[in-house]
Amino acid sequence: MTVTSVHDPSHREALWELEDAFERGDLVSLFGRCTVSYEGRAASDLGAGDRLLVLKPDGAALVHTDEGRQPVNWQPPGSEHHAAVREGRLRVRSTRSNPDETLTVRFSDVHQLSAMAVTGGRDLDLHGSEEDLRTRILERPDLVEAGFEPRETERPSSAGPMDVFGVDADGTPVVVELKRRRVGPDAVGQLARYVRALREELGIEDTEEDEYSDRDAPAVRGVLVAPSVTDRAAERLADRGFDHVALDPTPEE
Amino acid sequence: MTVTSVHDPSHREALWELEDAFERGDLVSLFGRCTVSYEGRAASDLGAGDRLLVLKPDGAALVHTDEGRQPVNWQPPGSEHHAAVREGRLRVRSTRSNPDETLTVRFSDVHQLSAMAVTGGRDLDLHGSEEDLRTRILERPDLVEAGFEPRETERPSSAGPMDVFGVDADGTPVVVELKRRRVGPDAVGQLARYVRALREELGIEDTEEDEYSDRDAPAVRGVLVAPSVTDRAAERLADRGFDHVALDPTPEE
DNA sequence: TGCTTTATGTCGCAT
DNA sequence: ATGCGACGTAAAGCA
């Protein structure tokens, strides 16, 4: 069983850990000083305070204070968790539709973040699918592109394990990020982190901060493998010079 | 703000952290593999599984799995948390009366334990009382015993900070543990840990494992200051050669 | 998806 | 303490 946990992480580190935890389907416990706002069937706002945020892989979100059996704010199962850093601060947002409801937690300090992989049934289907996608690519690397050679899976990096690492026909390092379903801009951000980490590791100067010119061919390439991408995600991919390969976890039957 | 967190602690380490956390009035988040049994208004038993146990200073206990907004088992606020190691395994029990209800969580593995001090109002009263007790003793050390000299408060040790450290009339080191109300055997265990830690630190051979003869005068003394003790606690105190001083946090008015 | 009933409901407020 | 009603009730069973 795997538990990752970070003590007093930076907001950006917390973001990375959170995104990875969402990806793995982990049960997350996050402690920190935050404000909470909810809008939906009713509306509420909570001022700054130390609280415990629990994020479940089934979409449930719970904000607990030091008192009471009930969470002070929550989101029911079936919601979608999103994490981002806005103005340097970690923001976790959980949304659902029918009815439309949004829970937003803005952290001023993140004191402790733990993510635990839970032995559960529901998850196996999902993970199975991404597993399938990886297996498919390892068996037929040309599905990514002609001449691609996988070298390693779950290759460790300072930004966490990358799904597939390999080289292209020119011998250029390639980071491949796998997603089992249609993805938004978040996935591009995740891929970018791995690419950046690998560039640093290889001692390659990164292009300017938050700017990505397609003038210099990047010494590390990024490829996002997913059935499809949203428009915004496609823009980001283009901005950073990454490629998208449209591929389903399972071959059409 | 203070967060203590341990990754993959031993059952005994987890116990220490838990007891200290209860003492401090912390909000506790505990990840691990466990079985859960509840008896009260209804009854239930859960087999082994990875779960998140949340323990609040107001007595609420929540057992969460990876699914659902509701805890799979719980105990309402006003309950009392107790931690112990039984057969080498951490056991957390939360009980309340009216109606009589007991929640028992038995861990086979503790993966992650975090305890956070929460800025709250209700807590200040409690801590204030223990603060009072300490102040009283520092102002009138003879209340502990004639010739007692306090040397340090919150003195750090490998078993955590001890409430008051000092020396007696003979110059023998004394560890004083303060409790604001009647205590059970748990408090004696906590005092014993501090004494043992200090003995180790001072390079003093401990008496035999789990055996305490009153033949050799102990090189480090333990004194429990509390309004009163239970019978079982008194037994344990006697076994280990510790003293009890009956003292209220506030002088009778 | 929508409706009905149950719950270790919880929680607040009244007596 | 007990009784009563409200809740962002949640969750399960069923049409």
DSSP state of A205: P
Instruction: Give me chain A's average pLDDT, please.
Output: 87
Would you state the pLDDT for residue A96? 95
Would you state the pLDDT for residue A250? 66
Averaged over B13-23, what is the pLDDT?
A: 92
DSSP state of A172: -
Nucleotide with minimal C1' distance from the CA of B40 is C8
Question: Do the chains contact at A27 and B64, CB–CB below 8 Å?
Answer: yes
Q: Within 7 A of a protein CB, which nucleotides of strand D? A: 1-2, 7-12
For A132-141, B64-73, B141-150, which range has the lowest pLDDT when averaged over its residues? Answer: A132-141
**Residue B23 confidence (pLDDT) above 90:** no
Would you state the pLDDT for residue A123? 36
Q: How would residue A212 be classed by pLDDT, with cut points 50, 70 and 90?
A: very low
Question: Do the chains contact at B60 and A76, CB–CB below 8 Å?
Answer: no
Of B50, B57, B67, the CB nearest to A77: B67
**Percent of residues, chain B, with pLDDT higher than 90:** 63
**Residue A207 confidence (pLDDT) above 80:** no
Per residue in A3-55, pLDDT (tens digit) is 999 999 999 999 989 998 998 899 999 999 999 999 998 899 998 999 999 99
Averaged over B77-89, what is the pLDDT?
A: 95
Would you state the pLDDT for residue A132? 76
Q: Are B116 and B13 in contact (CB under 8 A)?
A: no
Measure the CA–CA gap between B249 and B181, rounded to whole angstroms: 8
**Residue A202 confidence (pLDDT) above 50:** yes
CA Rg, chain B, in Å? 19
B101 CB less than 7 Å from any atom of strand C: yes
Residues 6+ apart with CB under 8 A from A106: A34, A35, A36, A37, A86, A89, A90, A91
Q: Are B198 and B173 in contact (CB under 8 A)?
A: yes
B38 CB less than 7 Å from any atom of strand C: yes
Residue A164's nearest CA partner among A143, A149, A147 is A149
Would you state the pLDDT for residue A158? 83
If you classify domain B122-246 with CATH, what class do you get?
Answer: alpha beta
- Say if A40 is an interface residue toward chain B (CB within 8 Å): no
Question: Do the chains contact at B66 and A57, CB–CB below 8 Å?
Answer: yes
Q: Are A32 and A106 in contact (CB under 8 A)?
A: no
**Residue B252 confidence (pLDDT) above 80:** no
Instruction: Give me chain B's average pLDDT, please.
Output: 87
**Residue B161 confidence (pLDDT) above 60:** yes
Q: How would residue B179 be classed by pLDDT, with cut points 50, 70 and 90?
A: confident
- Say if B70 is an interface residue toward chain A (CB within 8 Å): no
Would you state the pLDDT for residue A161? 81
* Chain B partners within 8 Å of A25 (Cβ): 66
Of B60, B112, B119, the CB nearest to A5: B112
- CATH 2.70.180.20 residue window(s) in chain A: 3-116
Q: Within 7 A of a protein CB, which nucleotides of strand C? A: 1-2, 7-12
* Chain B partners within 8 Å of A123 (Cβ): 66
Per residue in A40-54, pLDDT (tens digit) is 988 999 989 999 999
- CATH 3.40.1350.10 residue window(s) in chain B: 122-246
Would you state the pLDDT for residue A251? 56
Least CA distance to A55: which residue of chain B?
A: B66
Look-up of token digits 């305890």: B115
Of B60, B67, B69, the CB nearest to A69: B60
Would you state the pLDDT for residue B217? 47
For A4-13, B1-10, B70-79, B155-164, which range has the lowest pLDDT when averaged over its residues? Answer: B155-164
Beta strands in chain A (DSSP E): 3-7, 27-39, 43-55, 61-64, 73-75, 80-86, 89-96, 101-116, 149-155, 162-167, 173-178, 221-226, 243-246
**Residue A237 confidence (pLDDT) above 80:** yes
**Percent of residues, chain A, with pLDDT higher than 70:** 88
**Residue A215 confidence (pLDDT) above 50:** no
Q: Round to the nearest angstrom and report the end-to-end CA distance of chain A.
A: 34
Q: How would residue A170 be classed by pLDDT, with cut points 50, 70 and 90?
A: very high
If you classify domain A3-116 with CATH, what class do you get?
Answer: mainly beta
Look-up of token digits 């030091």: A66
Q: How would residue A206 be classed by pLDDT, with cut points 50, 70 and 90?
A: low
Question: Do the chains contact at B66 and A50, CB–CB below 8 Å?
Answer: no
Measure the CA–CA gap between A227 and A136, rounded to whole angstroms: 13
**Residue B160 confidence (pLDDT) above 80:** no
* Chain A partners within 8 Å of B109 (Cβ): 1
Around Cβ A104, how many Cβ atoms within 10 Å? Answer: 18
**Residue A220 confidence (pLDDT) above 50:** yes
Would you state the pLDDT for residue A248? 79
Structure tokens at A236: 């980001």
CA A43 to chain centre: 28
Measure the CA–CA gap between B1 and B116, rounded to whole angstroms: 8
For A30-34, A183-187, A204-208, B65-69, which range has the lowest pLDDT when averaged over its residues? Answer: A204-208
Per residue in B87-130, pLDDT (tens digit) is 999 999 999 998 999 999 999 999 999 999 987 433 334 444 67
Helix (H) or strand (E) holding A124: helix A121-139
Nucleotide with minimal C1' distance from the CA of A71 is C10
Measure the CA–CA gap between B92 and A234, rounded to whole angstroms: 50
- CATH 3.40.1350.10 residue window(s) in chain A: 123-246
Check residues 118 to 137 of chain A and report those whose beta carbon is under 7 Å from nucleic acid strand C.
none
* Chain B partners within 8 Å of A67 (Cβ): 56-58, 60, 77, 120, 122
Q: Of the ranges A14-18, A58-62, B243-247, which is most confident? A: A58-62
**Using CA atoms in the order B215, B216, B217, B221, what is the torsion angle rounded to 10 degrees?**
-100
CATH among 2.30.38.10, 3.40.50.261, 3.40.1350.10, 3.60.15.10 for A123-246 = 3.40.1350.10
